[in-house]
């Protein structure tokens, strides 16, 4: 275990000395160089770095390809897989390994503890001393493995948090486009009827043009809050700009009723400029609502909802269209 830890530490030092980024591929290459000692890989590296020459990324990629196969850029990835995903998978695998090793070390330690009275009673002094030393080493290894497992678990939590941040809109706190796509990918796993709605804040550009982007941002945050409050049983995300996407577990007709209620609730809010107390007037949105057919790609339903939303805009704004039926009318 100490040898492995030393190889890990030496790998990081090596990458820093060579001024190479600690990517998974580079780290594995550096680890293999130090963990395997005087191997063909180590000799190849020495041949390049002899005389104080540093490895370039091109050299590192060539070495990796030569000794381990294709480079990281050439390896096939599953759809949607990112570097964070790869690191997360490695952390999960390492956590399993350390957990298993901790269990083995603990079992060995308990077995030695159980056998100690028999060994001492037999007056086998030398053997007893050996077992005491082995037991202490086992206990120390168990503690170190437990600490490693805790650190890996902390890393996993940090990676999960980072992934969550990557799928969340910084302004509104709602799921962003990536978060929406993740939700849609798993939304059809049940048997419930789903609807998808797209809504767009009416005349939003006028808020930015007249009052500035700071006020525009406040409007978007307020709209997001209002939608979440009135559509608490639905999934609400920011599709982009002033557009929001809603997913609910009912048909489009019932979903349109929900969106109409949300539109009414938003219109009843009173908006004023913080600086001058000037009223901003009634804020409205236009929306399109459609059913998600069984086994239909969500992207197709989103396109349909988008088309309905623009028809609502063209029909005078401040209204909800479900398929071909208007559920609200402009005030």
Q: Is 268 a catalytic residue?
A: no
Q: Of 40, 229, 242, 278, which residue is the catalytic one?
A: 242
Q: Is residue 249 within 8 Å of residue 193, measured between CB atoms?
A: yes
Backbone dihedral region of 7: left (phi > 0), alpha (psi from -120 to 50 degrees) or beta?
Answer: alpha
Kindly tell me the burial class for residue 321, based on how many C-beta atoms sit within 10 Å of its own C-beta (0-12, 13-18, 19 or more).
buried
Q: Greatest CA separation found in the chain?
A: 98
Start-to-end CA span in the chain (Å): 73
Q: What is the 3-state secondary structure (H, E, C) of the chain?
A: CHHHHHHHHHHHHHHHHHCCCCCHHHHHHHHHHHHCCCCHHHHHHHHHHCCCCCCCHHHHHHHHHHHHCCCCCCCCCCCCCCHHHHHHHHHHHHHHHHHHHHHHHHHHHHHHHHHHHHHHHCCCHHHHHHHHHHHHHHHHHHHHHHHHHHHHHHHHHHHHHHHHHHCECCCCCCECHHHHHHHHHHHCCCCCCEEEEEEEECCHHHHHHHHCHHHHHHHHHHHHHHHHHHCCCCEEEEEECCEEEEEECCCHHHHHHHHHHHHHHHHCCCCECCCCCCECCCCCEEEEEEEECCCCCHHHHHHHHHHHHHHHHHCCCCCEEECCEECCCCC
The catalytic site residues sit at 242
């Amino acid at each position: 275990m100490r040898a492995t830890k030393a190889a890990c530490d030496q790998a990081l030092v090596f990458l820093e000395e060579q001024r190479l980024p600690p990517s998974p591929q580079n780290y594995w290459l550096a680890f293999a160089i130090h963990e395997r000692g005087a191997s063909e890989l180590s000799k190849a590296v020495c041949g390049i770095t002899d005389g104080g020459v540093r490895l370039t990324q091109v050299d590192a990629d060539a070495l990796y390809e030569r000794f381990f196969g294709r480079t990281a850029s050439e390896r096939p990835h599953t759809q949607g897989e990112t570097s964070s995903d790869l690191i997360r998978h490695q952390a999960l695998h390492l956590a399993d390994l350390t957990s298993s090793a901790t269990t083995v070390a603990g079992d060995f330690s308990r077995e030695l503890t159980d056998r100690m009275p028999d060994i001492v009673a037999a007056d086998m002094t030398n053997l007893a001393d050996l077992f005491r030393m082995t037991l202490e080493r086992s206990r120390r290894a168990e503690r170190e493995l437990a600490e490693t497992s805790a650190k890996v678990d902390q890393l996993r939590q940090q990676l999960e948090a980072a992934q969550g941040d990557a799928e969340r809109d910084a302004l509104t706190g709602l799921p962003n486009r990536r978060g929406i796509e993740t939700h849609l990918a798993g939304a059809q796993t049940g048997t419930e009827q789903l609807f998808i709605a797209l809504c767009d804040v009416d005349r939003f550009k006028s808020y930015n043009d007249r009052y500035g982007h700071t006020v525009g941002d406040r409007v978007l945050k307020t709209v997001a809050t209002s939608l979440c409050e009135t559509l608490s049983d639905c999934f609400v995300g920011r599709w982009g700009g002033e557009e929001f996407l809603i997913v609910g577990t009912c048909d489009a007709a019932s979903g349109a009723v929900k969106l109409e209620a949300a539109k009414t609730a938003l219109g009843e809010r009173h908006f004023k400029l913080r600086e001058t107390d000037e009223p901003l007037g009634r804020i409205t949105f236009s929306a399109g609502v459609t059913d998600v057919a069984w086994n239909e790609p969500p992207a197709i339903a989103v396109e349909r909802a988008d088309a309905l939303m623009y028809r609502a805009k063209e029909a005078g704004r401040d209204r909800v269209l479900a398929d071909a039926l208007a559920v609200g009318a402009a005030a």
